[in-house]
């Protein structure tokens, strides 16, 4: 592919839900652009972002190679708020230049040599361009058909050549990378994720980031009765999730002694729910300090004994902050599929010493009574204990 025929490599981004935001749309678009720029800080150059009619064009420095442009496009796919990311070519607003770029774009492609069916689909945002969308389709499609002998299929083509006529240039591309969809991170406030080393909580964090929530992560370690393995695992999970929001923070509370106190209370069947309530109370105290407006957990209704409707109700009673449960209606297969797609499943499946194993009664209570739990908390002075646990908070900063 010759640079002269194809023009300049760039990236074209298609917005999703953001375009429905009415009078607030500009706020969402500004946040999205800021998130894109932050995501691209790992590259040794600045990009030029231009917003146009539900599309953001990312222009790269002159001389940028196609390979670097591909890497930029791939990185942007992790930024919530976009539905499609297209590696495009920016060409002059001239029908001849557009046709030449389309011809060059299909050169040396294996699927073209196989004789795939194709279609040209154009969008003319600038009505001053001398050809209508239909005329562009016919002109470019006719040239491609003459040169490559590909069959035309306007309904279900195997290959689509896309042409978008903009104010100052024309974009030509084929295919695209799916984005994350959802809303830009930071448009829905801040939350605190209770982060275990399991499969569910990272997926819950991801789903809330997709809804515009910026999240911090709180991990409860079994230290001093377990090793630091669970902390390393939580750290690895937060690093994997950081691609979606950037600037993630992991906070760790040493929870082992508090668990020992709960176990010593003698309420064996209620120990798990009592522990969960104390975690939530501690998380609420931490959330206030971090100015987070909600807690996020990976609960899925009925998945384990602590997640029955009665036990979830008992946990909600422990705090005043709202508890967001984005996985509440999903089954394990659905959760694992998302974990695999976002790259956290393999990390979650690594062995570690989970703090919850310290409180594993033979039979856990599936319908805990709030009054019984409050009696345990009264003996433990749970409110004061939660403050002490929050005071022991440690931050583990992400490297790089």
Question: Is 247 assigned to a binding site?
Answer: no
* CB burial string 187-211: b at 16+ within 10 A, e below: bbeebbbbbbbbbbbbbbbbbbbbb
Q: Are 97 and 189 in contact (CB under 8 A)?
A: no
pLDDT at 214 over 70: yes
pLDDT digits (tens, 9 = 90+) for 26-57: 999 999 999 999 999 999 999 999 998 789 99
pLDDT at 2: 42
pLDDT at 174 over 60: yes
Q: Which of 58, 341, 347, 70 is nearest to 210 (CA)?
A: 341
Mean predicted lDDT score pLDDT of the chain? 93
The pair of three-digit structure tokens given for residue 21, joined into one six-digit string: 């935001």
Helices (H), the chain: 3-6, 25-39, 66-76, 95-105, 110-114, 133-148, 200-210, 229-241, 256-264, 271-290, 309-316, 332-342, 345-348, 370-380, 382-391
pLDDT digits (tens, 9 = 90+) for 91-135: 999 999 999 999 999 999 999 999 999 999 999 999 999 999 999
User: Which percentage of the chain shows pLDDT scores above 70?
Assistant: 96
pLDDT at 3: 45
Kindly report the length of the chain. 400
pLDDT at 28: 95
Query: What is the average per-residue pLDDT within 151-179?
Result: 96
Q: What dihedral do alpha carbons 375, 379, 383, 387 form, nearest 10°?
A: -150
Distance CA 80, CA 182 (A): 6
pLDDT at 354: 62
Angle among Cα 136, 141, 147 to the nearest 5 degrees reads 135
Sign, CA torsion 172/174/180/183: positive
Distance CA 59, CA 173 (A): 15
- HEC string of 217-286 equals EEEEECCCCCCCHHHHHHHHHHHHHHHHCCCCCEEEEECHHHHHHHHHCCCHHHHHHHHHHHHHHHHHHH
pLDDT digits (tens, 9 = 90+) for 371-397: 999 999 999 999 999 999 999 999 998
Q: How many CB atoms within 10 Å of residue 65?
A: 11
Distance CA 266, CA 109 (A): 70
Q: Are 163 and 170 in contact (CB under 8 A)?
A: yes
Q: Are 359 and 263 in contact (CB under 8 A)?
A: yes
DSSP 3-state of 128? coil
Question: Is 195 assigned to a binding site?
Answer: yes
Question: Is 259 assigned to a binding site?
Answer: no
Q: How many CA atoms lie within 13 A of 107 on its CB side?
A: 12
Work out the burial of residue 77: count CB atoms within 10 Å of its CB; fewer than 13 is exposed, 13-18 middle, 19 or more buried: middle
pLDDT at 86 over 60: yes
**In the block, residue with structure tokens 């708020």:** 81
Bridge partner list, 171: 90, 164
Sign, CA torsion 252/256/261/262: positive
pLDDT at 225: 80
pLDDT at 78: 98
Question: Is 298 assigned to a binding site?
Answer: yes
Q: Are 71 and 9 in contact (CB under 8 A)?
A: no
User: Which percentage of the chain shows pLDDT scores above 90?
Assistant: 82
Question: Is 86 assigned to a binding site?
Answer: no
Question: Is 171 assigned to a binding site?
Answer: no
Q: Which of 76, 267, 86 is nearest to 174 (CA)?
A: 86
pLDDT at 1 over 50: no
pLDDT digits (tens, 9 = 90+) for 321-355: 999 999 999 999 999 999 999 999 999 999 876 65
Question: Is 288 assigned to a binding site?
Answer: no
């Amino acid at each position: 592919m010759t640079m002269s025929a194809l023009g300049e490599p760039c990236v074209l981004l298609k917005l999703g839900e953001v375009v429905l935001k009415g009078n607030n749309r500009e706020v969402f678009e500004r946040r999205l652009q800021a998130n894109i720029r932050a995501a691209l800080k790992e590259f040794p150059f600045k990009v030029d972002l231009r917003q146009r009619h539900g599309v953001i064009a990312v222009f790269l420095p002159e001389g940028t190679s196609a390979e670097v442009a591909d890497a930029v496009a791939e990185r942007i796919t992790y930024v919530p708020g976009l539905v499609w990311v297209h590696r495009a070519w920016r060409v002059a607003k001239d029908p001849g230049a557009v046709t030449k770029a389309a011809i060059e774009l299909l050169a040396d492609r294996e699927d073209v040599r196989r004789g795939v069916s194709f279609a040209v689909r154009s969008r003319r945002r600038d009505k001053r361009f001398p050809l209508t969308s239909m005329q562009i389709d016919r002109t470019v499609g006719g040239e491609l058909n003459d040169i490559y002998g590909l069959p035309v299929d306007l309904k279900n083509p195997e290959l689509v050549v896309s042409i978008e006529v903009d104010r100052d240039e024309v974009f030509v591309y084929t295919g695209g990378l799916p984005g994350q969809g959802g809303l830009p991170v930071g448009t829905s406030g801040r939350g605190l994720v209770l982060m275990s080393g399991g499969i569910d909580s990272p997926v819950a964090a991801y789903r809330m980031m997709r809804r515009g929530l910026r999240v911090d992560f709180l991990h409860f370690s079994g230290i001093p009765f377990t090793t630091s393995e669970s902390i390393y695992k939580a750290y690895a999970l937060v690093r994997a999730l950081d691609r979606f929001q950037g600037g993630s923070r992991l906070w760790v509370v040493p929870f082992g002694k508090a668990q020992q106190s709960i176990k010593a209370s003698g309420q064996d069947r209620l120990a798990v729910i009592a522990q969960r309530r104390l975690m939530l109370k501690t998380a609420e105290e931490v959330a206030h300090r971090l100015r987070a407006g909600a807690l996020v957990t990976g609960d899925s209704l009925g998945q384990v004994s602590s997640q029955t409707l009665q036990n979830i109700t008992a946990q909600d009673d422990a705090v005043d902050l709202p508890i967001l449960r984005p996985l509440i209606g999903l089954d394990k297969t659905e959760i694992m599929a998302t974990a695999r797609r976002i790259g956290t499943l393999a990390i979650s499946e690594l062995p570690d010493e989970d703090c919850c194993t310290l409180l594993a009664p033979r039979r856990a209570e599936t319908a805990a009574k709030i009054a019984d739990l409050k009696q345990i908390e009264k003996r433990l002075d749970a409110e004061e204990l939660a403050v002490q646990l929050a005071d022991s908070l440690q931050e583990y900063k992400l490297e790089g």
